[in-house]
Structure 1
Amino acid sequence: MFRPILFAATLSGCVACLASWSIETDRSTPEKHGLFEIREEARRFITQENAKGRDQWDVLEPNAKVLVPRCAVPLQAQWTPKSLGRSRPSVTVICADAVPNTVMKDWDVFVPVRQKPRRS
């Protein structure tokens, strides 16, 4: 009897937590780099690319499942090379040196983009 009640309470708590989560609130902490800051670096890169006047792009959301350690150096961004086999265009946000941790020394996160419709 107690287990179903505990499960239901836990499940409803998880749903409420997930409903309140968004990239806007996923900010960096001393231990992890937030998806908000990763997306913002992709946006800075795309703003520079859009200023070149060729194709125009919008930045989409990075994968919400991504969890990476805090970066110890400024983030960098570049177009994801086609040789990596991504099916759609994306920006790679790169951390060349993560804060000391037991998981990874550096990392990169793919942030999808989509081409803005051409205006006639």
Structure 2
Amino acid sequence: MLRSIVFITALTACIPCLASWSIETDRSTPDKHGLFEIREEARRFIAQENAKGHERWDVLEPNAKVLVPRCAVPLQAQWTPKSLGRSKPSVMVICTTAAPNAVMKGWDIFVPVKQKSGSP
């Protein structure tokens, strides 16, 4: 019974924190790379692709569960290769060299995109 009370109290205390979280506030820190900056790199890439005039794309939100170490070099972005088996189009944001950590040397995050309505 006491465990249930503690769990419910802890859950209730966390609700305001979860409600205030958004990609807009998930910025990079010395230890982790923020989803805001990852999404912004995808947006820069898509803006360049849209400027080519072939198709028009909108960037959606990256998976909010993603947690990656801070990137030590500028991020890169490209279309996710079809060979990776993704069912929908996405942009792959790539960190080739993460800041020193015990988990990973580099990473890539898939950011979903959708065609703008009225695209050619």
Give the TM-score category using the shorter length.
over 0.9
Give the aligned partner of residue 26 of structure 1: 26
Alignment of 1:13-92 (within 5 A): 13-92=13-92
Root-mean-square deviation over aligned CA pairs: 1.3
Cα distance in 2 for residues equivalent to 1:75 and 1:35: 12
Q: Note closer, same or farther for the CA distance 1:90–1:105 as it changes in structure 2 (3 Å cut).
A: same
Structure 2: gaps of 5 or more residues = none
Give the aligned partner of residue 118 of structure 1: 118
What do the CA deviations read for 1:16-52 (whole angstroms, capped 9, x no partner)?
2111110000000000000000000000000000000
1:78 partner amino acid: Q
* TM-score, normalising length: structure 2: 0.95
Q: Structure 1 runs of 4+ off > 6 angstroms?
A: none
Displacement of 1:9: 1.2
Q: How many pairs are equivalent?
A: 120
Structure 1: gaps of 5 or more residues = none
SS at match of 2:12: helix
**Percent identity over paired residues:** 77
